[in-house]
Chains A and B, each alone.
Chain A
Amino acid sequence: MDYIDPHIHMVSRTTDDYETLARMGCVAMSEPAFWAGFDRGSVESFRDYFRQLTEFEPKRAAQFGIKHYTWLCINAKEAENVSLSREVIAMIPEFLDASNVLGIGEIGLNKNTKNESTIFLEHVDLAARFNQQILIHTPHLEDKYQGTKMILDMLVSDARIERSRVLVDHVEEHTIQEVLDRGFWAGMTLYPITKCTPARAADMIERFGTERLMANSAGDWGPSKPTAIPDLIMELKRRGHSRELIRKVVYENPCEFFSQSKNFKAPLAPS
Chain B
Amino acid sequence: MSQDPKPPARSAEKVLSEEFFIARSKILDLAATLDRLERADGSLEALHQLKLLEQGMEILLDDQSDKAKRVQLLMSRPYDPDWRKNYGLH
Interface residues of chain A, those whose CB is within 8 Å of chain B, are: 112, 114, 117-118, 121, 141-146, 149-150, 153-154, 172-174, 199-200, 203, 205-206, 209-211, 238-242, 244-245, 248, 252, 256
Contacts and interface: CB of A to CB of B under 8 A. Distances in A.
Contacts of A146: 76-80
B28 to A, nearest CB: 17
Give the most central of B22, B75, B78: most A CB within 10 Å: B75
B42 interface: no
Contacts of B79: 145-146, 149-150
B30 interface: no
B89 A205 contact: no
Contacts of B7: 205-206, 239, 241, 245
Contacts of A240: 8, 10
Contacts of A206: 7
A144 B4 contact: no
10 contacts: A117-B87, A143-B77, A144-B76, A145-B76, A145-B77, A174-B69, A203-B68, A239-B10, A240-B10, A244-B5
Interface of B: 1-2, 4-8, 10, 18, 22, 66, 68-69, 72-73, 75-80, 83-84, 87-89
A218 to B, nearest CB: 18
Looking at B1, B76, B78, B83, which has the most chain A CB atoms within 10 Å of its CB?
B76
A22 to B, nearest CB: 25
A156 B18 CA distance: 42
B32 to A, nearest CB: 17
A41 to B, nearest CB: 27
Given A205-B7, A210-B5, A242-B5, A114 B78 contact: no
A142 B10 contact: no
Given A239-B8, A244-B2, A173 B72 contact: yes
Given A173-B68, A248-B5, A252-B1, A114 B87 contact: yes
Contacts of A142: 75-77
A174 B70 CA distance: 8
